[in-house]
Amino acid sequence: MRVGIYCGSKTGRNPIYAEKAEELGIFLAKHDIGIVYGGSNQGIMGKVADAALSNNGNVVGVMPSFLQWKEVTHEHITELHYVTTMYERKAKMIALADLLIALPGGAGTMDEFFDVLTLSQIGQHQKPICLYNVNNYYRLLRLQLQHMADEGFMQQEQLENIFIIQKPEELLEIIHKKIIMQEGSCPDDYLG
C-alpha cells in the first residue's frame, strides 16, 4: 500500500504545515504504508519524507532529471525514479500509488491535485483523492469545488469522491472502505 503525496517544496509561514507533514510521515511509516512523492529534501516534501524514513518507512521519490540538483534531490530515500518531464512525474506517481493526497502547497500541488481529479473524472483511475486540510488550508478550494458542482461544471458524485481529512487516522478508514473492501482482501485485524 502506498500513498501518493503532493505538497509544497516550501514549508509555508505557519510551522503547523511542517508539523502536520511530519506527523503524517510518522503515521504512515508506523502503519506500514509507503509514500510516493516528488523526491525532494526541501519544504514539506522533505519533512514528510524524513519523518517516514526516521520511522523505518518506505519512501519512493519521482524526480524530473532537470530538477536533479544535489541540494534538492533527497539522496536517502528508499527508491528514486528519474523521469524526463513533469508529465511523466505525475503519471509515474499515479501508477505507483493506491491513494492520492494533497497537503498544503502552491501552484505545483494544485496542478497535481487537479490533474488527478480530472483523470478520475474521465475514468483514467479510480484511486481515492484526499485533501489534507491542515490549518483549514483547503477551505476556500472546497467552496470553489462545491460552486463548480452547483453551477453544473462538475457532477456532485465526483465532488463526493474528494475526501477532506483533518488527521492521518482518517486515511485508514478511506483505505479500508475504498481500496481494501473493493478488492475483497481485507485482513481481519487491518485496522487494529
Q: Mind listing the pLDDT tens digit for each residue in 135-148?
A: 999 999 999 999 99
Q: In angstroms, rounded to a whole number, what is the distance separating the alpha carbons of residues 184 and 187?
A: 9
Helix or strand or coil: residue 73?
strand
For the stretch 163-181, pLDDT in tens is 999 999 999 999 888 766 5
Among 87, 89, 57, smallest CA distance to 73 is for 89
Whole-prediction pTM: 0.89
Task: Map out the domains of the chain with their CATH numbers.
Answer: 2-178 (3.40.50.450)
- Show the cell assigned to 136: 483549514
* DSSP codes, 109-166: HHHHHHHHHHHHHTTS----EEEE-GGGTTHHHHHHHHHHHHTTSS-HHHHTTEEEES
